[in-house]
């Protein structure tokens, strides 16, 4: 037994643990400054998320180099387990832990040895990627280097220590199947035993030093990701992608603040996100705002802007024992302002404007790509909506164009501001049944929710007309609400106007429930999403289907037959997945299936498609706002389509249609005759 | 600085006008809003209050429907509201409106009276000027800029082909042009507070007026809707021929040349 070693080791070990706990507790306390949120239910589903995204790293593996992370992750787990026998070996060289000197132990070390080698290679790949290939999305920081360097040192010192031991005694049972240990052992063999002994001792202490330093480094760096990410995966939202915006209780009179303007007003889960981020940059690589030169960078927002502000403000809040810097603590804040103006300056920083700029907030199109790509289940979009809520409901600070759209909704129930009495005018000559005329509304199988675009926008009216023609041909019993329909509220909610949103929802739900509506078909993915995923919170539960899915179903069931003679001319169509049908509902196939049912159509995929599809730029209320910063997103998307040299662009959403059509007018030679079509328009020609 | 703002509940600009009889416009199912120019007047009052203190009182004449306009003004930040609602005031003219509103205003303590430059329904622009006349105070309309200090108002008004800057002593009546300011969007706490603010409804009797003394001077004989717009017509063919056909159509059918 090495008494002195044991003493020194114990002192170092205890110091490291204390340092770890002190730093870690602080971070936990910062996260707990957040508001409560219930994320403790449905344990089996949470465990499944944990298994998929932590143990199996499913999301990471969606990109090829994710394999390097999977190897590093599992290698690291084995390395951590093997630390116990490693430490024991150094402190008690004459004894061994149970199982270590058995075949089982040897197999464990064999796996560990192979994995550690793979980890080492993975780390080299990581270094090459970050510092030689230099993708924009990876930041070349000292932090990032240290993390890789620490793990490499841990592996190398372990190799050398075990190698030296094997050089002295090549027959150690536990390492008999370990190729790299054996190799190092052979390389070191031939040296004097005393030299090897000393060398092993140096390696052991070096290893312990690095290991303990790493332990202390974790809670003090972005590598807290190691703890944050698994927790975040467990606590990930279990709601559908399109139903994650928190409803607000507007009846509660004790609430005086709407939306979020203080970091601690976010929930603990929202704060935990910042510590989970591993800074992989998948979000920024897929964010249309970021890629088109807008100030929003989702990775920067979570892993830098919000996190650094939380670290600064959290420290001062804990120093004064403050749980909130809201109105209720006004007196205390005034007191602090007198004692320490510097501390007060940190506490009084406005989350919006001082920390997150308004341009960042309003750049988001709520396309959800950041969240879908994020391997650690971070929820970016909610935070943006929460802050927009403050701007909208507390400050009334909205762009003038957006205000016009909101007033139009308020006065005429549609953002275009056309008189609400004209809502059913498009259907006048089409014999479209109105629900209010139905003798028995319950006989109507589907409510066709036309939406504002289908009702008022000339281009979308053509899609609505096609839908009517198809549903009629298929003998579907459907009706529309006509003037009784009001804006669904999608953009109203996503621009932070929860009060106005809930007013619209209440009116629509009342109308639909009075008619006992059960099934809804709609051609607008934005209406679809809010009707399907958000209305249930407000007493409106319906089965909602996109028109492409319903039409596809009707054809497959033989209820709608297509006259292939009437097929349009052969055409090459680049299909654009809308965010609200694609990522939001995971419906990628129905629109493609419809296009493929049209003879002569050749469907081509853009580079960004399916869940990596690129937003048209209209979501999250951006449809109603000017785009002053960076490149226009609709043009960026159009250029991606043009790379495939299409004759037509396929779409499934009225907003995408408008944005892409505008893009064509802006940058494509009219001689080319490039158009945007909805698959239903081609199908309608064949019925 | 106490400011009275006159607001009116009107049909939305997109409302479909339907006549229920020769002399009556139907309000069934019509969205009603605060007269847009009145929003500018409310905003101007609120900005003055924020800068100089005082009280903003919104005053309207109309049915209970007008409560919405008053609540909107309260949600924007006005302090209290007065509504004159009386069965005798259902169909009125500008004379009646001015008499009634002037009386209602005179029960308040005021330094300035603001309103929109025109109500977008009747479009007469008469009421504010009439009120100034009844109260014996100065009046400036179509104002694009306003500065209040030392008991005086300096206002910039739009006139044909130019602007006019005038100064007048307070109290005075000022009517707002759109460009005076950007009306604020009521905050949710504002909407919540507005529900609890004072909104007093007065009848003619409460104002000490009789229906006879404010009876309309004017009677509507008939309302009629403009003829429905015809679809456009495209004159096709050889340019010279088409041009001559167009000219003759403009002369004989459209009767514009």
ipTM for the predicted complex comes to 0.85
Cα–Cα distance measured from residue A601 to residue B153, given in angstroms and rounded to the nearest whole number: 71
Residues of B in contact with A250 (CB under 8 A): 188
Q: A497: nearest CA in chain B? A: B188
Count of Cβ atoms closer than 10 Å to residue B213 Cβ: 11
Q: What is the pLDDT of residue B228?
A: 84
Residue ranges of E strands in B18-106: 18-21, 24-26, 32-34, 55-61, 80-84
Residues of B in contact with A398 (CB under 8 A): 185
Crossing angle, helix A498-514 and helix A400-412, to 10 degrees?
30
- CATH, domain range B2-207: 3.40.50.620
Q: Test A393 with B186 for CB contact under 8 angstroms.
A: no
Q: pLDDT grade, residue A1 (50/70/90)?
A: low
Question: Do A646 and A604 contact (CB within 8 A), yes or no?
Answer: yes
Placement of tokens 């409460």 in the chain = B206
Cα–Cα distance measured from residue A264 to residue A351, given in angstroms and rounded to the nearest whole number: 10
Query: Which residue out of A326, A393, A501 would a mutagenesis test of the B interface target, given it has the greatest number of B Cβ atoms within 10 Å?
Result: A393
Residue A255 exposure: Cα atoms within 13 Å on the Cβ side: 16
Q: Which two tokens stand for residue A202?
A: 């140096």
Convert the pLDDT of each residue in A126-176 to its tens digit. 999 999 999 999 999 999 999 999 999 999 999 999 999 999 998 888 999
Convert the pLDDT of each residue in A227-275 to its tens digit. 999 999 999 999 999 999 999 998 888 888 999 999 999 999 999 999 9
Cα–Cα distance measured from residue A442 to residue A460, given in angstroms and rounded to the nearest whole number: 28
> Where do the domains of chain A lie, and which CATH numbers do they carry?
3-32+63-223 (1.20.950), 261-394 (1.10.1060), 412-556 (3.40.50), 564-684 (3.40.50.10700)
pLDDT at residue B257 above 90? no
Q: A483: nearest CA in chain B? A: B29
Distances (CA, A) of B37 to A388, A520, B117: 28, 41, 6
Cα–Cα distance measured from residue A327 to residue A419, given in angstroms and rounded to the nearest whole number: 42
Convert the pLDDT of each residue in A180-201 to its tens digit. 999 999 999 888 999 999 999 9
Q: A411: nearest CA in chain B? A: B31
Q: Taking the complete model, does pTM exceed 0.95, yes or no? A: no
Q: Which of A420, A422, A499 sits opposite B188 (nearest CB)?
A: A499
Cα–Cα distance measured from residue A163 to residue A113, given in angstroms and rounded to the nearest whole number: 12
Q: Which residues contact A576 (CB under 8 A, 6 or more apart)?
A: A606, A613, A616, A637, A641, A649, A650, A651, A656, A660
Cα–Cα distance measured from residue A287 to residue A595, given in angstroms and rounded to the nearest whole number: 28
Convert the pLDDT of each residue in A3-59 to its tens digit. 899 999 999 999 999 999 999 999 999 999 999 999 999 999 999 999 999 999 999
Closest CA–CA distance from residue B132 to any residue of chain A (Å): 32
Residues of A in contact with B184 (CB under 8 A): 396
Residues of B in contact with A422 (CB under 8 A): 14, 16
Question: Do A426 and A448 contact (CB within 8 A), yes or no?
Answer: no
Q: What is the pLDDT of residue A256?
A: 85
Q: What is the pLDDT of residue B70?
A: 97
Q: Test B192 with A406 for CB contact under 8 angstroms.
A: no
Q: Test A394 with B12 for CB contact under 8 angstroms.
A: no
Q: Which residues contact B26 (CB under 8 A, 6 or more apart)?
A: B18, B19, B20
- Nearest in space to A450 (alpha carbons), one of A436, A439, A466, A429: A466
**Sheet containing B162-169, strands listed edge to edge, beginning at the edge strand earlier in sequence:** B162-169, B152-159, B139-149, B172-176, B112-116, B2-6, B55-61, B80-84, B199-202
Query: Which residue out of B46, B186, B188, B229 would a mutagenesis test of the A interface target, given it has the greatest number of A Cβ atoms within 10 Å?
Result: B188
Q: What are the domain boundaries of chain B?
A: 2-207, 232-257
Residues of B in contact with A418 (CB under 8 A): 14
Cα–Cα distance measured from residue A23 to residue A41, given in angstroms and rounded to the nearest whole number: 29
Q: What is the pLDDT of residue A447?
A: 97
Query: Which residue out of A406, A419, A486 would a mutagenesis test of the B interface target, given it has the greatest number of B Cβ atoms within 10 Å?
Result: A419
Paired residues of B81 in beta bridges: B58, B199
Q: Test A421 with B16 for CB contact under 8 angstroms.
A: yes
Which DSSP helix (H) or strand (E) runs through B154? strand B152-159
Ramachandran quadrant class, A279 (left: phi over 0; alpha: psi -120 to 50; beta: rest):
left
Closest CA–CA distance from residue B190 to any residue of chain A (Å): 8
Residues of A in contact with B185 (CB under 8 A): 392, 396, 398, 403, 406
- Nearest in space to A624 (alpha carbons), one of A365, A372, A246, A242: A365
Convert the pLDDT of each residue in B157-190 to its tens digit. 999 999 999 999 999 999 999 999 999 999 999 9
Q: Test A412 with B14 for CB contact under 8 angstroms.
A: yes
Q: Which of A398, A412, A498 sits opposite B12 (nearest CB)?
A: A412
B12 touches chain A (CB under 8 A): yes
Decide the pairing of beta strands B9-11 and B32-34: antiparallel
B16 touches chain A (CB under 8 A): yes
- Alpha carbon A399 to chain centroid distance? 26
Cα–Cα distance measured from residue A250 to residue A258, given in angstroms and rounded to the nearest whole number: 9
Q: What is the pLDDT of residue A130?
A: 92
Q: B15: nearest CA in chain A? A: A419
Its sign, for the CA torsion B54, B59, B64, B66, is negative
- Nearest in space to A624 (alpha carbons), one of A456, A401, A419, A411: A401
Phi then psi dihedrals of residue A664, to 5 deg: -60, -45
Cα–Cα distance measured from residue A25 to residue A364, given in angstroms and rounded to the nearest whole number: 34
B120 touches chain A (CB under 8 A): no
Count of Cβ atoms closer than 10 Å to residue A127 Cβ: 15
Cα–Cα distance measured from residue B86 to residue B64, given in angstroms and rounded to the nearest whole number: 10
pLDDT at residue A567 above 90? no
Placement of tokens 């089965």 in the chain = A543
Q: Test A400 with B31 for CB contact under 8 angstroms.
A: no
Phi then psi dihedrals of residue B145, to 5 deg: -150, 140
Q: Test B12 with A256 for CB contact under 8 angstroms.
A: no
Question: Do A540 and A508 contact (CB within 8 A), yes or no?
Answer: yes
Question: Do A519 and A543 contact (CB within 8 A), yes or no?
Answer: yes
Cα–Cα distance measured from residue A149 to residue A211, given in angstroms and rounded to the nearest whole number: 12
Residues of B in contact with A499 (CB under 8 A): 188, 191
Convert the pLDDT of each residue in B58-106 to its tens digit. 999 999 999 999 999 999 999 999 999 999 998 889 999 999 999 999 9
How many contacts, defined by CB atoms under 8 Å, are there between A and B?
A: 45
Residues of B in contact with A396 (CB under 8 A): 184-187, 190
Q: Test A411 with B33 for CB contact under 8 angstroms.
A: yes
Phi then psi dihedrals of residue B218, to 5 deg: -130, 140
Convert the pLDDT of each residue in A616-632 to its tens digit. 999 999 999 999 999 99
């Amino acid at each position: 037994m090495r008494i002195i070693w044991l003493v020194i080791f114990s002192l170092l070990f205890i110091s490291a643990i204390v340092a770890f706990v002190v730093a870690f507790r602080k971070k936990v306390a910062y996260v707990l400054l957040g508001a409560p949120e219930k994320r403790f239910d449905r344990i089996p589903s949470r465990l499944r998320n944990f298994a998929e995204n932590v143990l199996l790293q499913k999301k990471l593996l969606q990109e090829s180099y994710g394999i390097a992370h999977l190897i590093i992750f599992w290698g690291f787990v084995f390395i951590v387990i093997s630390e116990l026998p490693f430490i024991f070996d150094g402190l008690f060289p004459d004894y061994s832990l149970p199982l270590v000197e058995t075949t089982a132990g040897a197999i464990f070390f064999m796996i560990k040895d192979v994995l550690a080698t793979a980890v080492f290679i993975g780390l080299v790949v990581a270094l090459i990627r970050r510092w030689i290939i230099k993708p924009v999305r990876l930041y070349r920081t000292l932090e990032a280097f240290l993390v890789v360097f620490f793990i490499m040192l841990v592996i190398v010192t372990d190799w050398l220590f075990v190698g030296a031991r094997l050089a002295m005694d090549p027959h150690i049972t536990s390492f008999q199947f370990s190729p790299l240990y054996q190799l190092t052992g052979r390389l070191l063999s031939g040296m004097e035993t005393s030299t090897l002994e000393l060398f092993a001792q140096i390696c052991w202490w070096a290893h312990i030093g690095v290991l303990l330093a790493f332990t202390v480094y974790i809670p003090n760096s972005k590598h807290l990701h190691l703890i944050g990410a698994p927790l975040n995966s467990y606590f990930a939202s279990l709601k559908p992608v399109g139903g994650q915006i928190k409803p607000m209780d507007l009846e509660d009179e004790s609430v005086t603040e709407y939306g979020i303007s203080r970091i601690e007003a976010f929930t603990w889960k929202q704060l935990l996100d910042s510590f989970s981020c591993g800074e992989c940059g998948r979000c920024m690589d897929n964010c249309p705002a970021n890629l088109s030169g807008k100030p929003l960078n989702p990775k920067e927002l979570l892993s830098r802007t919000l996190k650094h502000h939380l670290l600064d403000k959290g420290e001062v809040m804990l120093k004064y024992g403050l749980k909130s810097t809201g109105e209720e603590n006004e007196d205390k804040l005034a007191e602090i302002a007198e004692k320490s103006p510097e501390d007060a300056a940190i506490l009084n920083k406005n989350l919006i404007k001082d920390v997150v700029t308004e341009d960042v907030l309003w750049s988001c199109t709520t396309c959800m790509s950041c969240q879908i790509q994020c391997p650690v289940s971070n929820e970016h979009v909610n935070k943006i909506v929460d802050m927009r809520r403050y701007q909208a409901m507390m400050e009334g600070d909205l762009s003038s164009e957006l205000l016009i759209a909101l007033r139009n909704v308020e006065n005429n129930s549609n953002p275009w501001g056309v008189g609400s009495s004209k809502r059913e005018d498009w259907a006048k000559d089409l014999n479209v049944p109105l629900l209010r005329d139905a003798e028995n509304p319950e006989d109507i199988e589907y409510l066709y929710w036309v939406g504002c675009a289908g009702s008022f926008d000339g281009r979308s009216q053509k899609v609505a007309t096609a839908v009517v023609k198809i549903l009629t041909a298929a003998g579907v019993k459907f009706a529309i609400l006509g003037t009784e329909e009001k804006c669904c509220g999608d953009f109203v909610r996503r621009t932070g106007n929860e009060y106005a949103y809930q007013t619209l929802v209440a009116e629509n739900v009342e109308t639909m429930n009075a008619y006992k509506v059960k099934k809804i078909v709609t051609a607008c993915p934005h209406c679809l999403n809010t009707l399907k995923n958000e209305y249930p919170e407000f007493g409106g539960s319906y089965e909602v289907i996109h028109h492409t899915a319903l039409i596809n179903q009707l054809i497959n069931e033989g209820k709608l037959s297509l006259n292939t003679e009437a097929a349009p001319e052969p055409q090459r169509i680049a299909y654009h997945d809308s965010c609200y049908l694609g990522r939001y509902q995971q419906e990628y196939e129905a629109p493609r299936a419809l296009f493929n049912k049209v003879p002569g159509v050749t469907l081509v995929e853009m580079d960004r498609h399916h869940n990596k599809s690129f937003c048209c730029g209209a979501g999250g209320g951006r449809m109603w706002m000017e785009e002053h910063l960076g490149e226009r997103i609709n043009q960026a998307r159009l250029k991606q389509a043009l790379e495939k040299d299409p004759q037509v662009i396929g779409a499934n959403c009225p907003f995408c249609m408008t944005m892409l059509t505008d893009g064509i007018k802006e940058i494509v030679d009219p001689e080319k005759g490039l158009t945007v079509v909805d698959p239903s328009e081609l199908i309608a020609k064949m019925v | 600085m106490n400011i009275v703002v006159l607001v009116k509940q009107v049909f939305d600009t997109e409302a479909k006008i339907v006549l229920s009889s020769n002399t009556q416009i139907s309000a069934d199912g019509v969205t009603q809003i605060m007269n847009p120019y009145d929003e500018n007047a409310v905003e101007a009052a609120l900005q003055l209050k924020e800068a100089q203190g005082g009280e903003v009182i919104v005053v309207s004449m109309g049915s209970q429907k007008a409560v919405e306009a008053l609540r909107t003004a309260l949600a924007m930040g006005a302090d209290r509201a007065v509504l004159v609602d009386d069965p005798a005031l259902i169909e009125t003219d500008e004379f009646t409106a001015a008499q009634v509103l002037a009386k209602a205003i005179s029960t308040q303590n005021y330094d300035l009276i603001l309103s929109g430059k025109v109500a977008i329904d009747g479009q007469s622009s008469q009421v504010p000027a009439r009120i100034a006349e009844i109260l014996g105070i100065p009046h400036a309309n179509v104002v694009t800029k306003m500065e209040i200090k030392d008991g005086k108002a300096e206002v910039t008004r739009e006139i044909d082909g130019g602007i006019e800057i005038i100064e007048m002593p307070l109290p005075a009546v000022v009517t707002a042009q759109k460009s005076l300011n950007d009306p604020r969007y009521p905050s949710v706490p504002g909407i919540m507070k507005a529900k609890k603010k004072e909104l007093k409804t007065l009848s003619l009797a409460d104002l000490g007026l009789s229906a006879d003394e404010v009876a309309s001077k004017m009677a509507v004989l008939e309302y009629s809707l403009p003829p429905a717009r015809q679809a456009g017509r495209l004159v096709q063919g050889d340019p010279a021929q088409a041009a001559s056909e167009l000219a003759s159509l403009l002369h004989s059918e459209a009767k514009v040349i």
